[in-house]
Structure 1
Amino acid sequence: MTAKHNLHVAALIPPHLNPEDVIAALHDHNTCLSLQALTTGHEKLPETNPETKKDTYWYPVDLHPVHTYSVTECVTVLPGIGEWGKKYINFPSCFQDTPHGIKTRADAPGGVTLRAEFRVIKGGADDGEVEGEGEGIGYAEWVLVEDVEVQCAWWMMPFVRKSMEGAHRDICKKVVEKVEMLKRQEQVAQTAAKGKGKADPEEQSPISAKDEERLPDKITYG
């Protein structure tokens, strides 16, 4: 028997960030792949499994291509014993850019399928919601939300659910924080460039070779 579990999480987008910046960060698939708590590495594959493309979950794949990555995750099977209790697994993870974010699908070993959609939406609460139980903690003009559905054998669900929630609970917040960090770095670089231009006298008042010829060799006063 197959079991399903859904998770809904969200993060407020600060007013000084543009929603387009967050969408652009999502379209850079390295963003979510590198911020995923369990992921230790990933590599883009040359093509996507034709059967995966048939999933009705996707937008039309001819208009919105699906890209696949080979992902490595580290899962703690027996806590408290360090590396001995960890297991490394590899599986395909697919990404599709959408107008408001991305859709993803991961097919992990053991028949575990996880679908997650990230969307930048207008207005809403910053909350974490599991099976309909959530707590709103604020509002913003723009919000990044993630809706996750995991499907697996019923006897695996307790472990899969715990791992999935641990990996996805903070990812929306991490995406927003990364966009903020990149914006700050961009502003610092622009400020430094402007400061350098003001401090360079040759750039402020350049003297041509012809002007130099007209200058006297020696200037006397009185």
Structure 2
Amino acid sequence: MFSFNSTATLHHVTPLPPSTTFAQALEALHNHDLLIRLDPEFAHYETLPLDPSAPSTKRYKVTDHMHALPKGLWDSTVSFEAEMTNTEDGILWIVKAPLGLVQRTTWRCLRTDGLGEEDKKGQAEWSLVEDVEIRANRLLVGTVRGKCEENWRGSHGRFCEFLVKEGEGEKK
């Protein structure tokens, strides 16, 4: 039987600033307010009550400005539920949006230098690794995939800028 549902996957890797430690990157990845605000289409958000069956998952109602969506598909703003769960190497972020869209994203801090340990100064080469799975109807998957491809460099860049600013603040 023909299905109108589809799935798309994306994988993006961005080297973190050289002075970034794993602990600094992880602390930033666990900063939900920071991550929500990295979205270039972000309008506002509010915290939702915890789900008793998943007490380690924080829930938010996020509203974005979505001017580039096909006319009539959504209003110019879209509100969706975001579930964010801290992991040992980053964060799992599940978005549940209108029209049955479910987007599962992980942002992880992973070593990229191929070495098994940090150098004598406590430094290593780290990268932000983003994996995205988008599930929805075919039209919506294509649109959301395009928005993700359009926005990831800016979001990763702002994340790296935050790390640099935090690193400079620690040196003072």
- TM-score bracket relative to the smaller structure: 0.7 to 0.9
Is contact 2:92-2:107 (8 Å) kept?
A: yes
- Name structure 2 gaps, 5 residues minimum: 115-123
Q: 1:47 to 1:26 in 2, by over 3 A?
A: same
Q: 1:40 to 1:183 in 2, by over 3 A?
A: same
**Whole-Å separation in 1 of the counterparts to 2:87 and 2:151:** 22
Q: Which has the higher contact order (CA 8 A, sep 6+)?
A: 2
Q: 1:21 to 1:160 in 2, by over 3 A?
A: same
Normalised by the size of structure 2, how large is the TM-score?
Answer: 0.81
Partner of 2:45: 42
CA drift at 1:101: 0.5
Q: Is 2:46 aligned against 1:21?
A: no
Is contact 2:19-2:167 (8 Å) kept?
A: no
Normalised by the size of structure 1, how large is the TM-score?
Answer: 0.64
Q: Is 2:26 aligned against 1:8?
A: no
> Once superposed, what is the RMSD of the aligned Cα atoms?
2.4
Q: Is 2:164 aligned against 1:180?
A: yes
Q: 1:162 aligns with which of 146, 149, 152?
A: 146
Q: Which runs of 4+ in 1 moved over 6 A?
A: none
Partner of 1:74: 65
Q: 1:14 to 1:168 in 2, by over 3 A?
A: closer
**Whole-Å separation in 2 of the counterparts to 1:70 and 1:10:** 27
Q: Is 2:155 aligned against 1:171?
A: yes
How many correspondences in the alignment?
157
1:66-117 CA-to-partner distances (Å, cap 9, x unmatched) read 11001001101479xxxxx961111110100000000000011111111100
- Name structure 1 gaps, 5 residues minimum: 54-60, 80-84, 126-139, 191-222
Is contact 1:5-1:161 (8 Å) kept?
A: yes
